[in-house]
């Protein structure tokens, strides 16, 4: 069992969990096998530390296999706090993506949604929890703290 040390989140009001982590949680729930990130998500939930983006919930619903599953997934997120979101974050995300691309010309560019989520985390004062390498890279580029889970190795690391 992995124990998450909440000191990584010092000064943050919560944690924005990325779609990549929720997908791992949902897959392990469907397969009924333990996953190293489940205990971290549970600990964050028990600490009332989880924030959710409507965009992330929408991505998860889009991956549902049926309307009934989509509705169940949507209900699963009702207990969490939602971030205050607005369309202007996408314009800011475009500028962030350009800045990253100028600084790291040889690296793959993060997606617009990754940049949007990072800007949302910055504005809301949240840390990031992701298994997405481009989101990790752009988080490090902007000095945003977080937790990174490598799907390939199964290892956790911290974005400091």
Arithmetic mean of pLDDT, 69-79: 93
Using one digit for the tens of pLDDT, what is the confidence trace for 113-127? 999 999 999 999 999
Dist. CA 135–CA 6, nearest whole Å: 21
Strands 156-159 and 146-149: antiparallel
Mean pLDDT across the chain, nearest whole number?
89
Query: Which residue carries 């010309």 as its tokens?
Result: 105
Segments making up each domain of the chain, as ranges: 18-159
CB 144 within 8 A of CB 120: no
Q: Which band of pLDDT confidence, cut at 50, 70 and 90, is reported for residue 160?
A: confident
What pLDDT is recorded for position 1?
35
Question: Has residue 53 got a pLDDT over 50?
Answer: yes
pTM of the model: 0.89
CATH class of segment(s) 18-159: alpha beta
CB 131 within 8 A of CB 19: no
Question: Has residue 28 got a pLDDT over 60?
Answer: yes
Listed as own residue / partner, the contacts of 3-7 with beta carbons closer than 8 Å and 24 or more positions apart are: 3/39, 3/43, 4/39, 4/40, 4/43, 4/44, 4/147, 6/43, 6/47, 6/49
């Amino acid at each position: 069992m992995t124990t998450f040390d909440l000191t990584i989140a010092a000064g943050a009001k919560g944690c924005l969990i990325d779609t990549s982590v929720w997908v791992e949680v949902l897959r392990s729930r469907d397969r009924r096998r333990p996953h190293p990130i489940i205990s971290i998500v549970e600990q964050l939930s028990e600490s009332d530390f989880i924030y959710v983006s409507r965009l992330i919930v929408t991505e998860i619903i889009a991956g549902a296999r049926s309307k009934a599953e989509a509705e169940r997934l949507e209900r699963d997120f009702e207990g969490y706090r939602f971030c205050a979101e607005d369309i202007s974050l996408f314009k800011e995300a475009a500028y962030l993506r350009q800045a990253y691309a100028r600084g790291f010309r040889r690296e793959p560019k993060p997606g617009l949604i990754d940049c949007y989520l990072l800007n949302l985390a910055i504005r809301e004062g949240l840390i990031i929890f992701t298994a997405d390498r481009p989101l990790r890279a752009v988080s490090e580029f902007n000095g945003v703290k977080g937790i990174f889970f490598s799907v390939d190795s199964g290892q956790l690391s911290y974005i400091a």
